[in-house]
Amino acid sequence: MRFLDHVDREAIPQLLASDEYFWLDLDQPGEEEERFLADTFRFHPLALEDMRNRGQRPKLEDYGEYMFLVYYGARDGGAGDAEAELQEVHAFLSGGYIVTSHAGSIAALDAVRRRLEAQPPRSEQFVVYRVLDALTDSFFPVLERLDDELEGLDEQIFDEPSPAHLERITELRRQLVELRRVTTPQRDLLARGTDEILEIPGLEADSREYFRDLYDHAIRISEQIDAFRDLLSGSRDAYLSTVSNRLNQITTQLTVVATIFLPLSFLVGFFGQNFAWLIRNIGSTADFFVLGLGSLVLSVVVLLAWFRRSSYV
């Protein structure tokens, strides 16, 4: 199998004429490359238009002698605030070639190329499988990182919740929605489109077990993303519950303090009145301590005893 990373105007027509299977991988093809694909491969204008436009839903379209596929991989942004990057790949699948188009370098495709160069594929269908399998499995490192982050986030929320945790939960939820936007259609695509890919005219047959395994991986990814969404909902509820409990504790403490000072304020205000009885009967230091400070201390002791008995403190 030949691999080409650019439009070779001499080699490609020869490969097509000799019916030698090859892989043409294009990084951001321009108008000149698109005209060459239209003239040489006779690709349909609608397929070329889809190849030009990014941000499409995963799909598989049958054009008779070839199929046009939109498929996604993922690149992990790493720990912290980095987000996973979806990598969109457009592919033309035929019995004589596979043409892929993407924007920027994709590590998964580079790994497939090195692997196929080191060990030649035994069939043409196996090449298609390797490409789709590498893109599908590129989601697993992203999910493993999200799993570790969700576990750590739960521990931090129960130890010391902060508004930053709620912001991170919102960011992770947005990431999962974006991942689910492509993984669910890809799972459905593999469920109904595998037989169509295997029946492409001229495509050398191989075992269907490989594509069944590919579909199994897609199911695992989709289910894991759904599980993470449920975990995030639980983390958000746990954060709100923890914050609410702490707010209740603070409110209870402030209420206790305010209740203690309520009789103190009353007594201070009472003894601060200029009644003749108070002036005539509180004339010594002992009277001041007994009636003044003693009543204050007694009120605090009575309130604390009541709070303790009522389990407020």
Q: Which residues contact 223 (CB under 8 A, 6 or more apart)?
A: none
Q: Are residues 188 and 93 both part of a single domain?
A: yes
Q: What is the CA radius of gyration of the chain?
A: 36
pLDDT at 99: 96
Q: Are residues 202 and 285 both part of a single domain?
A: no
Q: What's the CA gap between 83 and 81, in Å, rounded? A: 6
Domain presence at residue 257: no
Buried b (16+ CB within 10 A) or exposed e, 39-60: eebebeeebbebbeeeeeebeb
- Residue 124: give its domain's CATH number: 3.30.460.20
Say how many CA atoms lie within 13 Å of 157 toward its Cβ.
25
Q: Are residues 186 and 300 both part of a single domain?
A: no
Q: Are residues 212 and 292 both part of a single domain?
A: no
| Token code pair at residue 273 | 């009145």
pTM of the model: 0.76
Local confidence band at 313 (pLDDT 50, 70, 90 cut-offs): low
Q: Which residues contact 16 (CB under 8 A, 6 or more apart)?
A: 40, 41, 96, 97
Name the residue range of residue 303's domain: 272-309
Q: What angle do CA 96, 19, 93 make, to 5 degrees?
A: 5
How many domains does one find in the chain?
2
Q: Which residues contact 270 (CB under 8 A, 6 or more apart)?
A: none
Type of residue numbered 29: P
Local confidence band at 271 (pLDDT 50, 70, 90 cut-offs): low
Which range of 90-99, 242-251, 268-277, 288-297 scores highest in mean pLDDT? It is 90-99
